[in-house]
Amino acid sequence: MHVTGLKRSVMNGESSMLWHRRLGHISKDRIKRLVNDGVLSALDFADFEICVNCIKGKQTKVSKKGAHRSSTLLEIIHTDICCPDMDFKTGPKYFISFIDDFSRFMYVYLLHHKNEALDAFKIFKAEVEKQSGKQIKIVRSDRGGEYYGRYTEDGQAFGPFAKFLQEQGIVPQYTNPGSPSENGVAERRNRTLMDMVRSMRSNTTLPIFLWSEALKTAVYILNRVPTKAVSKTPFELLKGWKPSLRHIRVWGCPCKVRIYNPHEKKLDPRTISGYFIGYAERSKGYRFYCPSHSTRIVESRNAKFLENDMINGRNHFQDNVPKRVHFDDLPSTSSSDNMYVIPSFAQVPLRIEEQRVQTPQVIDNPLVDQVVHEELEMVEQPIIHEVPQVNEQVDQHDLQKMLMQH
């Protein structure tokens, strides 16, 4: 096995390792498929190596077994509720995923309580059915109370979710107790998502509340890369054309962001320091966490991404990041000592509608793919060949340790 530790040199646009990071730490095989499919241009796989952040992020590997596959969109929807085991005390605690069996396109909604599952499903159903012109026929889930209801002597006492499916003529398929593998698609996908989130977060110092931004980004990526189950990317199966990945950047990397100034009604010529945290959902652009800015989460189409600085462990803005905002400093009655100010712009979502993570759109953000790319090209990071000396030995040591534990 060839283990070299983190490469300290600057990665260029053809580096397979750079794309591994941009794409949320997906496997080499999946990157190769993207190249073979022409979604990514030819990459240099010579620099592909064991990734420390992957080892930190991945928990389990679960094999899967073959199952009946649907032949058309929305025939079968897999769903599962996941509670990310993270140390956060405010904000949504769960997410619910809906995965179309045919395309494997995935939708995720954040939940504060499990009983919001039905609300999320209604929003999901309305949108996918309207956009595809098809109807959901089967929903596959475990027998969790939020899906099934309760057991009684007379059989199933329908909960609101089961009742709604019945009213809509949708057939519920419940996995048998003790056989969680029967609902494998949704559960595996949720595990993959959390592995990606951990890998993406593991080489950043970004505050924990941004886990949901990492989650949204992981969903965004998974919908645009091939799976073992389907021959094309979920995106292509849903929309009919290949996704563009040119605008994808390494999550959490430091950025110089140019923002829109509403007073001057134009782009502010100055840049602010921030971190890339995701892709805008309903507009064309990127999302940034800017700790020193009055609005901490901003969206912009103009930024310089310092991906290599992050990969090399350099962080220009570290001093600007408040380690932890103590609750005394906050205009809040919450007793949490692990809370961060979230700007009015970002707004802690109160309604499910605002928590949508991934929705199918008729048009795939052409501006992010094209115009932004062109705009960004002007401020795109120049490729500088330099080799900063950052704790090479320590990292090597950690890597070896982790490999042994693995």
Residues that bind Zn ion (CB under 5 A): 25, 51, 53-54
Residue number, nearest CB to Zn ion: 51
Residue that the structure tokens 């048998």 belong to? 176
Specify the DSSP class assigned to residue 22.
Answer: H
Q: 219: which residues sit within 8 A by CB, 6+ positions away? A: 106, 107, 108, 193, 357, 358
Looking at beta carbons only, is 51 or 225 nearer to Zn ion? 51
- Report whether 252 contacts 206 (CB < 8 A): yes
Residue type, 206: L
CB of 243 to Zn ion, least distance (A): 21
- DSSP label at residue 136: -
Closer Cβ to Zn ion, 217 or 355, answer by number? 217
Q: How far is the CB of 34 from Zn ion (least distance, A)?
A: 16
Q: Among candidates 357, 331, 359, which has minimal Cα distance to 344?
A: 331
Q: Quick one: 51 or 222, whose CB is closer to Zn ion?
A: 51
What does 8-19 look like in DSSP terms, one character per residue?
Answer: -SPP-TTBHHHH
Q: What is the DSSP letter of 356?
A: B
SS3 label, residue 226:
coil
Shortest Å distance, C-beta 378 to Zn ion:
30
CB of 295 to Zn ion, least distance (A): 31
CB of 28 to Zn ion, least distance (A): 10
Q: With contact defined as beta carbons under 8 Å apart, do 349 and 355 qualify?
A: yes
Closer CB to Zn ion, 53 or 190, in the complex: 53
Longest distance between any two alpha carbons in the chain, whole Å: 72
Beta carbon nearer to Zn ion, 51 or 110? 51
Of 17 and 73, nearer to Zn ion (C-beta) is 17
Give the integer Cα–Cα distance in Å for 319 and 305.
Answer: 18
Q: Which is nearer to Zn ion, 53 or 365 (CB)?
A: 53
Of 343, 345, 364, the residue nearest 248 (C-alpha)? 364
Q: How far is the CB of 341 from Zn ion (least distance, A)?
A: 31
- For the CB of residue 21, give the shortest distance to Zn ion in the complex, in Å: 6
Beta strands at 94-100 and 149-152: parallel, antiparallel or unpaired: unpaired
**Which two structure tokens, joined as six digits, stand for 136?**
């959901």
CA-wise closest residue to 196 among 141, 236, 250, 247: 250
Q: Which is nearer to Zn ion, 265 or 406 (CB)?
A: 406
Between helices 160-168 and 117-132, what is the axis angle to 10°? Answer: 20
Q: Minimum distance from CB of 200 to Zn ion (Å)? A: 9
- Least distance (Å) between residue 126 CB and Zn ion: 37
Beta bridge partners of 155: 152
C-alpha span between 175 and 245 (Å, rounded):
36
Which of these, 7, 3, 20, lies nearest to 313 by C-alpha position? 7
> Which one, 94 or 251, has the nearer CB to Zn ion?
251
Taking the least distance from each CB to Zn ion, the nearer of 30 and 246 is: 30
Report helix, strand or coil for 129.
helix
Least distance from Zn ion to the Cβ atom of residue 7, Å = 12
Torsion 325-327-330-336 (CA) sign: positive
